[in-house]
Amino acid sequence: MTATIFEIKRFAVHDGDGIRTTVFFKGCPLRCVWCHNPEGLTASPQTAYYKHKCIGCCECRRSDFSVENCLGEARVLYGREMSVDELLPILLEDKDFYETSGGGVTLSGGECLMQAEFCAELLKLLKEKGINTAVDTCGFVTKKALDLVLPYADTFLYDIKSYDEDVHIRCTGVSNKPILENMSYLNSLGKNIEIRIPYVPDYNDNQIEKIARFLAPLQSITKVRVLPYHNYAATKYASLDLPNTLPERIPTNQEIQKAAKIIKKFTNFAIIY
């Protein structure tokens, strides 16, 4: 069994508790206008070209050229097939850091649960090694996919981008009904859940109170993280020859603090921003 992976990020500190290694899977069912990982949207590998890094060596014109031989690292391959046996030893390299920091391994994307069978097998082996595990998901997945990983996931990092369906469709291209239903499903099972709310001015800034009211009665939420939108990914869109959909305006500190206060008003969860 293999999966398409586009990045393995070691020493991650924002993808769950403690020091973690985050595995980014390719493929996503959403098309968020603010996506900061456009290299994770499609399921197949892609070659990006960062023009500003090109040193003019012309190696790429050779018939036997491979991306790994780009001297200026102007060409980057996003996505390669990896087996569980190939990936597991890499993730175990930092086991000592996981144990001392209360960290572990997080599966992310894209949407990792588009490759749910692989995720379940990998998570199972990690649990057998005593590693804390987290699944970062947009929630637009089948219950079957959730059920596959439920026995082996210690925490779900769960995105809530909007409460109103029309706003969610405008921002992501899909309905949020399955997302809210899956959120309630995980809560009913008593799974540890960290909610992640991307805050994007002029897109979902009017959704914060509605999201907070939806979350308020849920018992399994451990914390809520407000993620300020940023536009750092602009060069990625250019390198992949994709239309740049990133909004121009980024939130102010005052806007993020206001959002956190609104959530706190309606819930008793720990708020991180």
- Domains of the chain in start order, with CATH, are 2-43+82-238+248-272 (3.20.20.70)
What is the phi-psi region of residue 22: left when phi exceeds 0, alpha when psi lies from -120 to 50, beta otherwise? beta
| Closest by CA position to 244, among listed 34, 50, 6, 26 | 34
Local structure of residue 115 (DSSP, 8 states): G
From first to last of its 273 residues, the chain has per-residue pLDDT tens of 999 999 999 999 999 999 999 999 999 999 999 999 999 999 999 999 999 999 998 888 888 888 888 999 999 999 999 999 999 999 999 999 999 999 999 999 999 999 999 999 999 999 999 999 999 999 999 999 999 999 999 999 999 999 999 999 999 999 999 999 999 999 999 999 999 999 999 999 999 999 999 999 999 999 999 999 999 999 999 999 999 999 999 999 999 999 999 999 999 999 999
Secondary structure (3-state) at 118: helix
Q: In the 8-state DSSP scheme, what is residue 13? A: S
Size (the chain), residues = 273
Contacts of 73 (CB under 8 A, 6+ apart): 50, 53
Q: Are 198 and 246 spatial neighbours (Cβ–Cβ below 8 Å)?
A: no
**Is residue 273 packed enough to be buried (19+ CB in 10 Å), middle (13-18) or exposed (0-12)?**
middle
Token pair of 47, please? 């070659």
Number of C-beta neighbours around residue 224 at 10 A: 23
Per the CB < 8 A criterion, the answer to whether 255 and 205 are in contact is yes
Q: Residue 185: what pLDDT?
A: 97
pLDDT at 184: 97
Structure confidence at residue 69 (pLDDT) = 86
Contact in structure between 79 and 44 (CB atoms under 8 Å): yes
CA 259 to mean position of chain CA atoms? 21
So what's the pLDDT on residue 65? 87
CA distance 195 to 156: 8
Q: Which two tokens stand for residue 156?
A: 């779900």
DSSP strand E in the chain: where?
Answer: 2-12, 20-25, 46-49, 75-78, 80-83, 104-109, 132-137, 155-159, 192-199, 221-228, 270-272
Rounded Cα–Cα distance for residues 240 and 42 (Å): 11
Provide the token pair at 228. Answer: 């300020």
